[in-house]
Chain A
Amino acid sequence: MPEKMILFSGSSSVGKTAVLRRLLPYLKEHGHTPMVCKIDCLCSEDAALYCSLGIHAVSGLSQDICPDHFLVSNLPELLAHANRHACGLLFIETAGLCHRCSPATEHSISGCVLDCTASFHTPARLGPMLTQADFLVLTKIDMISQAELELVRGQLNRINPGAVLFPIDGLAGYGIEPLGDWLLSLPDCKSFENDRLRHSMPAGVCSYCVGETRVGGLFQQGVVGKIEFGDDL
């Protein structure tokens, strides 16, 4: 089985791939064998990019299923795959969907990638993907002022004080070395048996989860939530 399972989650286009395409060759140079699984909804060209760097990569398209649920359902198979290919480091890159879920498990090393040019208010909205991460990667640091970067770091520190923070300039590769060294310094996971999600996924299967398209009370079945307006008659 792999030594480590490392999760890179973060919204679309925050720079997950830009970081990994620098980090994985760095780990390879240091004698490790990383592989990546890219989880996406509809399509992804990233696997081809990793392969062109000489890194084993697979992609999983969740299609109609929530990508976080899809990922958790595929973990045993992914670990077995990494094992068959003798890859000691299994990286999983996922964009998630609504950021209410987090596919982080207790045995994984869970990282959240954030774009520091995005809204200052984004991190507070991210939920368990951010609050329960072991490490945070801040991308596009070359685009903001030093003072603003300090503010963003301070805010992340308040939201998740335990996480280790890595500011990275993915284009130049600045900041990759500390991240790689830190990941390697963590103890290996001896066994992936009896792993558990760190945070349960949202309750509910409703008619829309299984393909209903019609709008209206008649078609709503299963677990259905309603807004409380406070001015109901």
Chain B
Amino acid sequence: MNTLTILPGHARDGAPETFEALSLKPGEILAVVGNTGSGKSRLIKDIEQLVGRDSVTGRLILLDGARIAPANRLLVSDRLVAHLSQNMRFVLDVTVAEFLRLHCLCRDKAANLPASVIALANTITPEPILPGNSLNLLSGGQSRALMIADIAMVCDSPIVLIDELENAGIDKKRAFGLLADSGKLILIVTHDPHTALMASRRIILEGGAIVRILERSKEEALLSGELDRSYERQRALQQRMRKGERLI
């Protein structure tokens, strides 16, 4: 995969999107921003499903300039795209160990991988996940951590779609570090300027449509360092608060 191209569809009110073709390359990080309900998750889903004008947005996704035949989409998507959806919960009634065993089986991974996946997940969630836990009873933060570790170790796809990292009480910077292997194409949906500035370009959505695409400016790159320091400070305070200590 050398380029992923998004061709315009239409807004929720039917008005056509005004950008030309939007081409994305491996190694690039893009942020997807906009009000709640503006269509960020839908854009991510369009990419995961490699849609061919058959989603609500009417967009068309091309890989290396070509349309993917509907019959092949699933296989191609499996191979290329990993999607951390906004969903904070698993639905299936299996244990964590069973989930990972089956997922490794689907992806031809070593049978001993699940233990490492759980260990990795437990580095980003303070409440440990156990192999015997029911998948659909994990807390939001635990689910999120397991989804991230699963994407990092079991999927290893060249395109990673992340629909919000911040709202699960996990360490977002560390989680992002796990997912953001260099050489991958990463799209991250966010409401947080600090996260958005990790990206070199940001896609702005409104009313279901892509309305703007902005490059990160030099000034913004400087601001990014400032936001990072305040994020670290916030994290340190959060830890003390959780331990029941005085914050000052």
Residues on A facing B (Cβ under 8 Å)? 117, 119-121, 142-148, 150-155, 167, 172-178, 181-182
Q: Assess the B85–A151 pair: CB atoms within 8 A.
A: no
| Chain B interface bracket (under 10, 10 to 19, 20 to 34, 35 or more) | 20 to 34
Least CB separation from B46: chain A residue: A174
Q: Assess the B93–A120 pair: CB atoms within 8 A.
A: yes
Give the one of B73, B91, B154 with max A CB within 10 A. Answer: B91
- From residue B90, how far is it (CB to closest CB) to chain A in Å? 6
Determine the distance from Cα of A174 to Cα of B103 in the docked complex, in whole angstroms: 24
Q: Assess the B147–A147 pair: CB atoms within 8 A.
A: yes
Q: Assess the B54–A145 pair: CB atoms within 8 A.
A: no
Least CB separation from B70: chain A residue: A178
* A-B contacts at CB below 8 angstroms, number: 73
> Among A119, A173, A178, which residue has its beta carbon within 8 angstroms of that of B93?
A119
Determine the distance from Cα of A172 to Cα of B55 in the docked complex, in whole angstroms: 6
Q: Assess the B91–A151 pair: CB atoms within 8 A.
A: no
Residues on B facing A (Cβ under 8 Å)? 45, 48-49, 51-52, 54-56, 70-71, 73-74, 78, 81-83, 85, 87, 90-94, 99, 102-103, 105-107, 147, 150-151, 154-155
Least CB separation from A179: chain B residue: B70
Q: A174-B51, A174-B55 are in contact. List 9 more A-B contacts (CB 8 A).
A: A142-B45, A143-B87, A144-B90, A144-B92, A146-B48, A147-B150, A153-B106, A176-B54, A182-B71
Contact residues in B for A182 (Cβ distance below 8 Å): 71
> Among B83, B93, B94, which residue has its beta carbon within 8 angstroms of that of A146?
B83
Contact residues in A for B81 (Cβ distance below 8 Å): 146
Q: Assess the B106–A120 pair: CB atoms within 8 A.
A: no
Q: Assess the A147–B154 pair: CB atoms within 8 A.
A: yes
Contact residues in A for B78 (Cβ distance below 8 Å): 150
Contact residues in B for A175 (Cβ distance below 8 Å): 54
Give the one of B54, B83, B105, B154 with max A CB within 10 A. Answer: B54
- From residue A139, how far is it (CB to closest CB) to chain B in Å? 13
Determine the distance from Cα of A146 to Cα of B79 in the docked complex, in whole angstroms: 12
Give the one of B87, B90, B102 with max A CB within 10 A. Answer: B102
